Amino acid sequence: MNVATTLSEFRALRTQLAGPVGFVPTMGYLHEGHLSLARLARSSCESVVASIFVNPTQFAPSEDLSSYPRNIDCDLELLTQEGVDLVLVPLNNDKVYPAGYDTWVDVAGITQRLEGTSRPTHFRGVATIVAKLFNIVRPQRAFFGQKDAQQAIVIQRMIRDLNFDVELVLGPTVREPDGLAMSSRNAYLSKEERSAATALHRCLKSVEGLYTEGERRAENLRQAMLEVLQAEPLARPDYLSVATLDTLEELEMIDGKALVSLAVRIGSTRLIDNIILPPGESLF
């Protein structure tokens, strides 16, 4: 596996890769969710590229950019084991965002809901760095996880609107045995908080059960999630949503596919999770 720490080095190594090229962008501190995407890419692409870059523009000043967990050596070992061919690890933010940088990708509408309400600058940073990485890596397929469903929807819209010649491939949310969605931020949780964090999955299972029994009123599904969280003292909900897949507007009644999602603070750690209704349906 080759590792490039500069854009010029990466571009030279990229010319040696056979296509199709699959791309797995990450912020590092890799877990099974990331590795499952690398395996998915490996199964369908001749070459696999990954990136490790903690993107500063998707963090607000009050968020955890400086403390975001990092372990580059371990990440590279894991990617080697998964058969990744080339990894981009930019060591100099100034090369990614040079002095005077002032060009942004804004995806309107869908970025202003859910995560966008609490993190209004987040998706501008996400869309911008993904667009830059698409231009640098030039993949035929890009692999993202359903756990970040709104992010996937935003990127899919950007691909369509800006005519990127990239296929977005979505991998399923990978969970711990107790249902907690895998996330690099799970490392922040204390033992007590880690136990409390299972409330997110219990919320989604409660909604899934009610839907299977015939409930279609979105407000009743939101209320069911709230009741689960109210029984967990360490949980503080940020949002509880039952929304359309195309606009992410809140639903009154479910008469097609819906995204059920939530963001919850467990102690000082903010976690997200989601499911698609009907059960078994895909995001795209």
The 10s digit of each residue's pLDDT in 76-89 is 999 999 999 999 99
Q: What is the pLDDT at residue 167?
A: 98
Closest to 168 in 3D by CA, of 246, 278, 284, 81? 284
If DSSP states are collapsed to H, E and C, what string results for 91-147? CCHHHHCCCCCCCCCCCCCHHHCCHHHHCCCHHHHHHHHHHHHHHHHCCCEEEEEHH
153-160's contacts with Cβ under 8 Å and 24+ in sequence apart are: 153/110, 153/245, 153/248, 153/283, 154/107, 154/110, 154/111, 154/123, 154/126, 154/127, 155/126, 155/127, 155/130, 156/284, 157/107, 157/110, 158/105, 158/107, 158/127, 158/130, 158/131
List the catalytic residue out of 31, 34, 122, 201: 34
Residue range 32-76, pLDDT digits in tens: 999 999 999 999 999 999 999 999 999 999 899 999 999 999 999
Query: Known catalytic residue: 122?
Result: no
Q: Domain 184-277 sits in which CATH superfamily?
A: Pantoate-beta-alanine ligase, C-terminal domain (3.30.1300.10)
How confident is the model over 118-177, as pLDDT tens digits?
Answer: 999 999 999 999 999 999 999 999 999 999 999 999 999 999 999 999 999 999 999 999
pLDDT at 213: 98
Locate the domains of the chain by residue range: 2-171, 184-277
Res 92: pLDDT: 80
CATH code for 2-171?
A: 3.40.50.620
Tokens 């880690």 sit at which residue? 194
Two tokens, residue 5: 């720490």
pTM attached to this predicted model: 0.96
Instruction: Write out the two tokens for 283.
Output: 């995001």
The Cα–Cα gap between 145 and 128 comes to 18
Per the listing, tokens 């950007």 go with 158
Q: Tell how far CA 126 is from the center of its chain.
A: 10
- Minimal CA–CA distance to 272: which of 244, 237, 246? 237
Question: Which tens digit of pLDDT belongs to each residue from 191-200?
Answer: 999 999 999 9
CA–CA distance from 238 to each of 114, 117, 130, 226 (Å)? 9, 10, 26, 11
Phi, psi (degrees; rounded to nearest 5) at 259:
-100, 120
Phi, psi of 279 (to 5 degrees): -55, 140
User: Are 127 and 158 contacting, i.e. CB atoms less than 8 angstroms apart?
Assistant: yes
The tokens for 196 are 């409390």
Give the residue, 94 or 245, on which the prediction is more confident.
Answer: 245
Beta bridge partner(s), residue 239: 263
Q: Per-residue pLDDT tens for 17-43? A: 999 999 999 999 999 999 999 999 999
